[in-house]
Amino acid sequence: MQTYKPSVSLIRATSYESGALRESLTTLLKPQGGITAFVKPGQKVLLKPNLLTGARPTKECTTRPELVYEVAKMVIEAGGKPFLGDSPAFGSAKGVAIANGYQSFIQELNLPIVEFHGQRYQTVSENFNHLLLCKEAMEADVIINLPKVKSHMQLTLTLGVKNLFGCVPGKMKAWWHMEAGKDANRFGEMLVETAKAIKPDLTILDGIIGHEGNGPSGGESRNLGILAAASDVFALDRAMVEILNVSPQQVPTVVASQRLGVCPELDKIEFPLLHPDVLQISDWRLPDKLMPIDFAMPRVIKSTFKHLYIRFIQEPMNTYSRG
């Protein structure tokens, strides 16, 4: 009897220029069946980039707008109806997107940006039987997850699974840090259960330029030259950990996904294009030191007020001043 092997496409890619990037994405997705294997005419398609912050637009903290633009065009050509969504740490999805250079293609494609709203969903989990997730993602016909390769001062690395934490609405993320963050294993399990509930149909990882060091926002950009794609987000993360030469045991999301039996071993993954061994690097910079995952109550309150200030005061004032 044949057993299913998840497939992860890996290629070298060095340019965000439109023509070159489109060619790279076409090559990347071909073994997966192309974009039409995931998107059918008339379907509502959530594009979920990493829109962490608008504060460091030149430091590669967020998914590049060029990548989101090309994927959005491919979705439209397949007959899908794309929309953009995220729940940034600070500010609104629209404000962070505009600060990171998304404005021109949002206007060109008339691409809606939604702010996420929460609803409690039942999950099949021993420790997390209900999760508050954004209904916009749960009700989308198709979810395309568009993470950025980054080091992370609390989770070592942030890849495909962690990017789906952006589907937890508003400041609930800070409360999760406080509630589950005292135990890295529990926090990692919560992220894995969130990814299982969201169930992205396709993950395309932006690793042309990554963010290393003291991420997710305090590090520096790093040319990596990689694009990755898979329908199995856990297999993709396992492959990327190998490429970055980081032990899976150092990454709480990978540890939890292995413990829960959803992360395949490397030899159980099919690599139709390049194998991780070919792309492996030895000098990816991890954080100088890891910080506790948990947020104390004063930090949660401060974070909540900062988020509200940016979203409802700073961003509207910036728009007014440009007018």
In a domain, 189, yes or no: yes
**For residues 24 and 202, what is the distance between their CA atoms, to the nearest angstrom?**
16
| Strand-strand pairing, 142-146 and 202-212 | parallel
How close are the terminal C-alpha atoms of the chain, in Å?
65
C-alpha–C-alpha distance, residues 76 and 65, integer Å: 16
CA-to-CA distance for 13 and 94, rounded, in angstroms?
Answer: 28
Output the domain CATH number for residue 64: 3.40.50.11440
In a domain, residue 1? The reply is no
Is residue 320 in a domain? no
In a domain, 20, yes or no: yes
| pLDDT of 2 | 46
Evaluate whether residue 3 is within a structural domain: no
Q: Amino acid identity, residue 311?
A: R
Binned at pLDDT 50, 70 and 90, residue 23 comes out as very high
The more confident residue out of 129 and 64 is 64
Q: What are phi and psi of 148, to 5 degrees?
A: -115, 145
| In the chain, % of residues over pLDDT 70 | 84
pLDDT of residue 57: 81
Q: Check residue 319 and give its pLDDT.
A: 46
More confident residue, 274 or 174: 274
pLDDT at res. 235: 98
Give the range of the structural domain holding residue 18, as residue numbers without chain letter.
9-314
Tokens of 80: 């899908």
Report yes or no on 323 lying in a domain. no
Going by pLDDT thresholds of 50, 70 and 90, the confidence category of residue 116 is confident
Is residue 129 predicted with pLDDT exceeding 50? yes
DSSP states along 287-319: PSSPPPS---HHHHHHHHHHHHHIIIIIHHHHH
pLDDT tens, residue by residue, 137-185: 999 999 999 999 999 998 999 999 999 999 987 665 555 555 555 677 8
- Give the mean pLDDT of the chain: 88
Q: Is the pLDDT of residue 295 over 50?
A: no
The model's pTM is 0.89
Q: What is the pLDDT of residues 205-261, one digit of tens each?
A: 999 999 999 999 999 999 999 999 999 999 999 999 999 999 999 999 999 999 999
CA dist 238 and 144 (Å) reads 18
Domain total of the chain: 1
